[in-house]
Amino acid sequence: MATVNASPVPGAADELPSVDALRRAGLRVTAVRVALLETVRDGDHLGVDGVADGVRARVGHVSLQAVYEALHALTAAGLVRRIEPAGGPPRFEGRVGDNHHHLVCRSCGAVADVDCAVGEAPCLVPSDDRGFSLDEAEVIYWGLCANCSSHP
Ligand SMILES: [Zn+2]
Ligand SMILES: [Zn+2]
């Protein structure tokens, strides 16, 4: 795999420009993948339809199949994070690698980011780890968003 030394940007993959992030992840750079990563990063926990709309707005017609394939590749490479609150469709975001959590509204489905409760993964200690070596805790806080709780 190529090493990237042209960019002085240290730190997380989600701070690199899309093209560099794809290269660093060892992925072939295609217009669809670049458009998809930019769409997901600009978006706010988009669903598949929202991702497809954003990709098409950037590069023209792209089949839903191609969108799914690109989403799968970027998710597998860790450039895109997929969350799937129970009972809802999957959502995609470009904020990766920081173990942040989500607030989800039971009424309208709004999703908001919330920083890790402690600061590093896993931020929660189970009452019994059963011998597992843990590296992540996925937390969803369920409730009503500010809008829904003020207009019931
Ligand atoms: Zn709501
Ligand atoms: Zn998020």
Residue 37, token pair as written in the block:
């990563």
Q: What confidence tens digit (pLDDT) does each residue in 20-35 have?
A: 999 999 999 999 999 9
Please give the distance, rounded to the nearest whole angstrom, from the Cα atom of residue 103 to the centre of ligand 1: 10
The bound ligand whose nearest atom lies closest to the alpha carbon of 82 is 2
- Distance from residue 27's CA to the centre of ligand 2 (Å): 23
CA of 105 relative to ligand 1 center, distance in Å? 5
What distance in angstroms lies between residue 111's CA and the mean position of ligand 1's atoms? 9
- Which bound ligand lies closest to the C-alpha atom of 143? 1
pLDDT at 119: 66
Judged by its nearest atom, the ligand closest to the C-alpha of residue 146 is 1
Ligand nearest to the CA of 109: 1
pLDDT score at 116 = 81
Distance from the CA of 149 to the center of ligand 1, in angstroms?
Answer: 7
- Give the pLDDT of residue 124: 78
pLDDT in tens, 77-103: 999 999 999 888 999 999 997 878 999
- Please identify every stretch of the chain with a pLDDT value under 50, giving residue numbers as ranges: 1-11
